Amino acid sequence: MNGTSLLKMTNISKSFASNVVLDGIHLELNEGEVVALLGENGAGKSTLIKILGGIYKADAGEIYIDGEKKEISSAAVAGANGIRIIHQEIILVPERSIAANVFLGREYRNKLGFIDYKRMEDETQKVIDEFGINLNAGAMVKDLSIGMQQLVEIIKAISADARIVVMDEPTSSLSQGETETLFRIIKILQKKNVGIIYISHRIEEIFQITDRIVVMRDGKIVGNVKTKEAEKDRLINLMVGRELKNYYTRTKHEIKGVSLEVKGLSHEKYFKDISFYARYGEILGFYGLVGARRTELMKTIFGAMHKKDGEVYLDEEKINIKHPKDAIKHGIIYVSEERRKEGLILINDVEFNMGLVCLKDFVRGIRVNKEAWRKMVDDYKQKFSIKFTSPKQRAGLLSGGNQQKVVLSKWLAKNPKVIILDEPTRGIDVGSKSEIYSIIDSLASNGISIIIVSSELPEIINMCNRCYVMCEGRITGELNEDEFSQEKILKFATQTMDK
């Protein structure tokens, strides 16, 4: 391994609105080195990578390549400096060939200025063969499996003069054989003195392939160890070791009978054989890392995605949910993590948004029962202390916390039995978070069955009576509140299936 410094990022900071995502990050990478970037969801890894890739601009900090200061102002500049980002999601043009995708943006041209496709295809084929992959460079991308598409993405990134390659969860959709191919590619790149930043939640993989491990938490770097000297438990501690703030409301609530029960639920692509139950008066948590497929599971139960197999029971009766409206009719509601996209109509006012779900109660034919509608808005405003200047204020202008309260009130007016909350406090400031927690608690003590999908361990540990842990589309663990510990939960969450 060569020890020459390749990349140095110093003092990188970045905020979105008032939310500090990166806070004075230092990161170094040497030639031929593979560095793992480890951290919980929301630790700031993706933002850091997007800054390196020229997609975001840092508020402060400097980037040095080969000891020379660089302004990475766009994706093109990053590319010109040999920086290649392999994104988690596949970003290819599906209706074009592998070769056309690999050379997109830097096509070969002959003397007349016309595209030299044959040369592109031959060269792509050479790279494919070098890595021992069974692919034809002329094949259409859309005809490949997801794993193969991911490999094409990787080939695309490294076939040009790559110097710094960032892989963001590269193995999340690879089979075992494809993962081995990836590791072979990494070894070859290392020999060519390319520096690699490897982001993954799979700790075993990190131990297998990396030289050094950098741990991020809450926008800071909290650990930097040689892989040889690292211990798994210590890494997990570093990942989660934040202080638990005292803003959770937990009253004792009486847990009653089973509300929702799911048996052997499977989805074509995302998850398999999921069975669990929720109870009235209980707050049930679902924890998992990126790619655990919790959101997909909940959306399937809610009828927004199609199941392949399995049954859903409510009050011990089998129910058939094909569409969200069926779920709502049964009293099951889902509050999306994408509040701004799937929860609210931002350009409409608060009153309108709150009334949307039970519009039928307020509007009959051409008669609008304004008083009832306004009363509902006022009731919830008081109950949840929602801050808005008037019922006619635009929902998009409210803070995240108040928006979430509006969404909750809109659903509560329907008197649901089961409420599924997907990342209920994402992007919400600390003060409002505490209020949301107290609302959730009071709902549960009123006997409603609550399911919280959360990527924040403290939220799960402090709010839930019970929790399931998911990893890659399976439930890997179930814990009662007396068994809760961050280490245990994270162990389940990183328990990838033995391939």
Partner 1 sequence: MERFRKIPVVAAIENYFKRNLGTIIGLILLCTIIAIATDKFLTGSNILNLFKSNAVNAIICCGMLMAILMGEIDISVGSTVGLSGVVGAYFITKLGLPVWLTVICCILVGAIIGLINGLSISYLKIPAFVATLATMSIGRGLTEVLTGGVTIRIRETGYTILGTKTIGSISIIIIYAVAALLLTWVLLNKTRFGYYVYAIGGNRTAAQYSGVNVKLYNMLPYIFIGMLCGMGGIIWSARLGSAAATLGKGFEMDAIAAVVIGGTSMSGGVGTVGGTFIGILIIGVLTNGLNLMGIDSFWQEVFKGIIILFAVIIDVIKKSKARDN
Residues 160, 162, 167, 172, Cα dihedral to 10°: 30
Of 347 and 359, CB closest to partner 1: 347
| Closest by Cα among 393, 397, 399 to 377 | 393
Task: Rule CB under 8 A: say whether 308 interacts with partner 1.
Answer: no
Task: Rule CB under 8 A: say whether 347 interacts with partner 1.
Answer: no
Window 138-167: residues binding partner 1 (CB under 8 A): 142, 156
Cβ-based neighbour number of residue 394 at 10 Å: 16
Count the site residues for partner 1 by CB under 8 A.
28
Tokens of 201: 């939640």
Of 152 and 260, CB closest to partner 1: 152
CB 422, CB 453: distance < 8 Å = yes
**Closest CB 87 distance from partner 1, rounded Å:** 7
Task: Rule CB under 8 A: say whether 111 interacts with partner 1.
Answer: no
Of 134 and 415, CB closest to partner 1: 134
What is the Cα–Cα distance from 101 to 143, expressed in whole angstroms? 13
Task: Rule CB under 8 A: say whether 85 interacts with partner 1.
Answer: yes
CA within 13 Å, CB half, 180: 5
Task: Rule CB under 8 A: say whether 101 interacts with partner 1.
Answer: yes
Task: Rule CB under 8 A: say whether 269 interacts with partner 1.
Answer: no
Task: Rule CB under 8 A: say whether 10 interacts with partner 1.
Answer: no
Residue of the chain from 8, 45, 87, 202 that contacts partner 1 (CB under 8 A) = 87
Report DSSP state, residue 244.
Answer: P
**Closest CB 112 distance from partner 1, rounded Å:** 9
**Closest CB 96 distance from partner 1, rounded Å:** 6
Report DSSP state, residue 97.
Answer: B
Residue of the chain from 1, 60, 91, 368 that contacts partner 1 (CB under 8 A) = 91
What is the Cα–Cα distance from 343 to 408, expressed in whole angstroms? 9
Residue of the chain from 26, 70, 96, 119 that contacts partner 1 (CB under 8 A) = 96
- At 146, give phi and psi (nearest 5°): -60, -40
CB contact set of 163 (below 8 Å; sequence gap of 6+) = 6, 65, 81, 82, 83, 194, 195
State the burial class of residue 259 (Cβ atoms within 10 Å of its Cβ: 0-12, 13-18, 19+).
buried
Of 107 and 326, CB closest to partner 1: 107
**Closest CB 109 distance from partner 1, rounded Å:** 7
Of 117 and 247, CB closest to partner 1: 117
Piece of 39-47, 72-80, 352-360, 484-492 that binds partner 1 (CB under 8 A)? 72-80
What is the Cα–Cα distance from 464 to 186, expressed in whole angstroms? 41
Binding site for partner 1 (CB under 8 A): 55, 75-76, 79-80, 85, 87, 91-96, 100-101, 104-107, 109, 113-115, 129, 134, 136, 142, 156
